[in-house]
């Protein structure tokens, strides 16, 4: 975690206004402060250059670590190449980590009112995948879990109905091994969660 100045009151107000207008999310001031802090850290990595030359101290430290871990020398040119590669990886990993952390907070405060169509698709999904007919209270919980997983992986712009359609097609074709194909990354994460929930229900002899 970077050591950055705490967000100002004005920055916190901007965060509250932005998410209220964009996503209909009402953030308490303390939560908005946390989101503003994470957003400031994310901005650092988003704007961080990866092609700037490394300092002599950074190269020397990288060579020392490399030789200690891999028991072979690393010359200065190689260290520069490796360092730039590592910098790009760290930048990418931190952008993902911070974006997910922000979304995880927003999910807890984002209102969600499922449509009848979405509820019907979840019922079809569990019936197709596991031959399980969900009771209304469990259907709502399953839909909430699916939505939260989808939002965490993909953000708030996608349509949950498209994800459910994709999963229903996947499980419909799976028993016949007929052109199952690959799910999109965010759909794969939802599938793993659905598999876990479906397996839990099957082990409990859900009926």
Q: Encode the chain (207 residues) as per-residue pLDDT tens digits.
A: 678 899 999 999 999 999 999 999 999 999 999 999 999 999 988 887 777 666 667 667 666 766 776 677 767 667 667 767 777 777 888 899 999 999 999 999 999 888 999 999 999 999 999 999 999 989 999 999 999 999 998 889 888 999 999 999 999 888 766 555 566 666 889 999 999 999 998 888 776
Q: What's the rounded Cα separation, in Å, for the pair 29 and 141?
A: 28
Question: How many Cα atoms are found within 13 Å in the side-chain-facing hemisphere of 195?
Answer: 9
Contact 31, 105 (CB under 8 A): yes
User: What's residue 20's pLDDT?
Assistant: 96
User: What's residue 69's pLDDT?
Assistant: 66
3-state secondary structure of 100: helix
Report the interhelical angle of 116-130 vs 160-173 (nearest 10°). Answer: 20
User: What's residue 55's pLDDT?
Assistant: 67
Domain boundaries, the chain: 9-109, 116-203
Does the predicted model carry a pTM greater than 0.75? yes
């Amino acid at each position: 975690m970077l050591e950055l100045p705490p967000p100002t009151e004005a920055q916190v107000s901007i965060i509250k206004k932005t998410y209220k207008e964009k996503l209909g999310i009402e953030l308490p001031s303390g939560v908005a402060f946390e989101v503003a802090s994470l957003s400031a850290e994310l901005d650092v990595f988003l704007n961080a250059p990866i092609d700037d030359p490394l300092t002599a101290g950074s190269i020397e430290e990288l060579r020392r670590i490399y030789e200690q871990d891999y028991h072979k020398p690393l010359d200065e040119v190689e260290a520069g190449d490796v360092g730039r590669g590592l910098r790009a990886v760290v930048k990418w990993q931190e952008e993902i980590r911070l974006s997910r952390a922000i979304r995880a907070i927003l999910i807890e405060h984002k209102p969600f009112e499922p449509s009848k169509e979405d509820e019907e698709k979840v019922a079809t999904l569990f019936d197709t995948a596991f031959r399980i007919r969900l009771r209304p209270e469990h259907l709502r919980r399953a839909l909430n879990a699916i939505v939260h997983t989808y939002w965490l992986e993909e953000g708030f712009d996608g349509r949950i109905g498209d994800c459910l359609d994709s999963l229903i097609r996947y499980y419909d074709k799976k028993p016949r091994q007929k052109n199952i194909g690959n799910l999109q990354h965010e759909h794969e994460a939802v599938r793993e969660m659905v598999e876990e929930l479906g397996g839990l229900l099957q082990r409990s002899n859900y009926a």
